[in-house]
Amino acid sequence: MDLQGLARGGVTESWMAGRGTQVTVRRTRVQDGAGLRAMVDALSRESRYYRFLTGGRVIDEIVAGLAAPGDGGVALVVVAPDEAGGQTIVASAEYVVSGQIAEFAVVVADAWQGQGLGRRLIARLCELARAAGLHGLRGDVLSENRRMLAILKGLGFASRRNPQDSYLHEVTLALAQPARSAQRLPADWFSAR
């Protein structure tokens, strides 16, 4: 996908997930609030703890932030067909911008973990951040969340213990910007004295 298309919002993509169900990633919409709340409420205590640092109920302001990442930010969801013939949100990813760095977070519904949704969402966030001209992505991951740390390592992220909190790993990825077109030198450049 070309970077200009991504920057203009072209992020919808469908594919067959690991269990043979077609899923679609798209930008989050205002009307996704109830679906995001339902997904978050259905998460296991462990999944809520890994993503939101609480095993209890996630407050409404945080869930609302999943759909509205602020100026320059991006919010995505993965939707899948439900039994009623509609669509249900099965994963969410977003980044917020601070300076030239995007701080990202991802959550995948328990039943959909292990099918590549998180990896695909993170890769898409990287593409979008690069298209927006950002210099890097960063995030905090609980040290015990080994699966996420392994996914991020596989995507090229560097990881280190957070100096302010030993329970967290800080993960970072520098985003290479597209090469600038080479400037043309005058034809007689090398003959000039």
Please provide the DSSP assignment of 160-174 as one string.
EEETTEEEEEEEEEE
Query: Hey, which bits of the chain come out as E strands?
Result: 13-16, 22-27, 74-81, 87-98, 101-108, 136-142, 158-162, 165-174
- Cβ 52 vs Cβ 4: under 8 Å: no
pLDDT in tens, 31-61: 999 999 999 999 999 999 999 988 889 988 8
10 Å Cβ neighbour count for 93?
26
pLDDT in tens, 150-169: 999 999 999 999 889 989 99
pLDDT score for 19: 80
Superfamily name with CATH number, domain 3-177: Gcn5-related N-acetyltransferase (GNAT) (3.40.630.30)
Give the residue from 122, 140, 123 showing the smallest Cα distance to 51: 140
pTM here is 0.84
pLDDT score for 34: 94
The domain limits of the chain are: 3-177
What are φ and ψ of residue 190, in 5° steps?
-80, -15
pLDDT score for 188: 60
Ranges of residues in the chain whose predicted pLDDT is under 70 = 1-10, 177-193
